Chains A and B, each alone.
Chain A
Amino acid sequence: MSSGVDLEHVTIRFGDFTAVDDANLAIRKGEFFSFLGPSGCGKTTILRAVSGFNEPTEGTIRINGSDMRGIGPNKRPTALIFQNLALFPLMSVADNIAFGLEVEGIKYVERRRRAEELLDLIALSGQGDKMVSELSGGQKQRVAIARALAVEPEVLLLDEPLSALDLKLRQHMRSELRNIQQRVGITFIYITHDQGEALTMSDRIAVMSAGVIEQVGDGSTIYNEPETAFVASFVGENNPFYGKVVKVDGDYAQIQNKFGLLRGRNTQGLNEGDAAILFVRPEALSLVEGDVPAENVVESTILSEEFEGPSIHIHMEGETEKRISFAVSNEGKGTHLKVGDTAKICFEVDRAIVLPEGDLADE
Chain B
Amino acid sequence: MTSDLIQKYMVRFYIAMFFLYLFGPLILMGVTAFNSPTFPTAIPIDELTLKWFSVLANDKDMIQGIKNSLWIGLGVVCLAVPIGLAAALLMSQVHKKAQSIYYMIVVSPLLTPGVILGISTLVFWDRLGVWVDADYNSVFYSGIFLSVIGQSTFISAYCMLIFLSRLQRFDRTQEEAALDLGATNVQVFWKILIPFLRPAIGSAAFLAFLTSFENYNTTLFTIQAESTLTTVLAGKVRLGTNPSLSALAVVIVGITLVGAVTHEIYRRREMRREALAAEAAKRAAHTADKGMAPV
Chain A residues within 8 Å of B, Cβ to Cβ? 51-53, 72-75, 78-80, 82, 84, 86-88, 90, 99-100, 102-104, 122-124, 130-131, 133-139, 147-148, 150-151, 169, 172, 176, 179-180
Contact = CB atoms under 8 A, between A and B. Distances in A.
A138 B192 contact: no
Interface of B: 171, 173-174, 176-184, 187, 191-192, 195-196, 274, 277-278, 280-282, 284-286, 288-289, 292-295
B196 A90 contact: yes
Contacts of B177: 80, 82, 86-88
A82 B176 contact: yes
Contacts of A86: 171, 173-174, 176-177
A99 B288 contact: no
A78 B180 contact: yes
Contact of B182 (A103, A124, A134): A103
Contact of B288 (A73, A138, A147): A138
A139 B288 contact: yes
Nearest to A53: B176
Nearest to B174: A86
B294 A123 contact: yes
A82 B173 contact: yes
Contacts of B284: 134-136, 139
A349 B72 CA distance: 89
B173 A137 contact: no
B295 A73 contact: no
A84 B289 contact: no
Contacts of A137: 285, 289
A137 B183 CA distance: 26
B182 A151 contact: yes
B178 A133 contact: no
Given A53-B180, A139-B284, 6 more contacts: A73-B176, A103-B181, A123-B293, A133-B274, A134-B281, A136-B285
Contacts of A134: 277, 280-281, 284
Given A88-B192, A103-B187, A136-B281, A79 B295 contact: no
Contacts of A90: 195-196
B292 A172 contact: yes
A138 B277 CA distance: 16
B184 A103 contact: yes
B289 A100 contact: no
Contacts of B294: 123
B182 A74 contact: yes
B181 A147 contact: yes
Nearest to B192: A88
A88 B180 CA distance: 13
Contacts of B274: 133
Contact of A100 (B181, B192, B295): B181
Nearest to B279: A134
A99 B181 CA distance: 7
